[in-house]
Chains A and B, each alone.
Chain A
Amino acid sequence: QKEVEQDPGPLSVPEGAIVSLNCTYSNSAFQYFMWYRQYSRKGPELLMYTYSSGNKEDGRFTAQVDKSSKYISLFIRDSQPSDSATYLCAMDDTNAGKSTFGDGTTLTVKP
């Protein structure tokens, strides 16, 4: 079983919908939680990071971490066709300097 599990999708939503992307993990040592967006044939782009539990908001994006459940989420409000991409969650031990990634969820936002 992988340390980080992510529903591969694909996920298809209409423009303007609220999107929920999720990951579960098994390593309780993870302290940093990141979300990346990866367009086809491109490198991952860091969207947000969160330290320990709690919520963090940045524009249309909200990241949530529930360490007690080992569950993290990314919400996208007012989704746009330009949000169509693969979304990767990633996690890191404190001071480890190496990230463990999920396999990504492919999202399509239809106009």
Chain B
Amino acid sequence: DAGVTQSPTHLIKTRGQQVTLRCSPKSGHDTVSWYQQALGQGPQFIFQYYEEEERQRGNFPDRFSGHQFPNYSSELNVNALLLGDSALYLCASSLEERSSYEQYFGPGTRLTVT
């Protein structure tokens, strides 16, 4: 049973560009959350998707947007990249009724903005 998968593993972009990151949840899970983890810090919640809708959002600007597909996979899009967007982007999946406490994380996508 595959766990949470994310692609790509690494990505290098230039300031002002746009990026799309992808996540496939653990089999049977219906909820996907995205987190940003800067070096030396804990993950920060970006937003959560359930039933193809954004259900919760953290303190991130509108440059960060997402989507969930009917097969529960998800994308994170970041527009107008800033140097400060360089971080590890983590996807976590869960069952909706257990999303507060039982999330399973993928390996992350490391984004470098130059």
Contact = CB atoms under 8 A, between A and B. Distances in A.
Interface of A: 4, 6, 8, 31-32, 34, 36, 42-46, 49, 51, 88, 90, 92-104
A44 B105 contact: yes
Interface string B14-57: 00000000000000000101010000111111001010000110
**Closest CB pairs A-B (n = 8):** A101-B42, A43-B105, A32-B101, A98-B45, A49-B101, A92-B100, A97-B99, A103-B42
Contacts of B56: 96-98
B66 interface: no
Nearest to A32: B101
Interface of B: 4, 31, 33, 35, 40-45, 48, 50, 55-56, 58, 90, 99-108
B42 A43 contact: no
Contacts of B45: 98-100
Nearest to B90: A43
Given A32-B100, A97-B99, A103-B41, 9 more contacts: A8-B40, A44-B90, A46-B104, A92-B101, A97-B55, A98-B33, A98-B48, A99-B33, A101-B44
Given A97-B33, A101-B44, A103-B40, A34 B90 contact: no
A18 B50 CA distance: 40
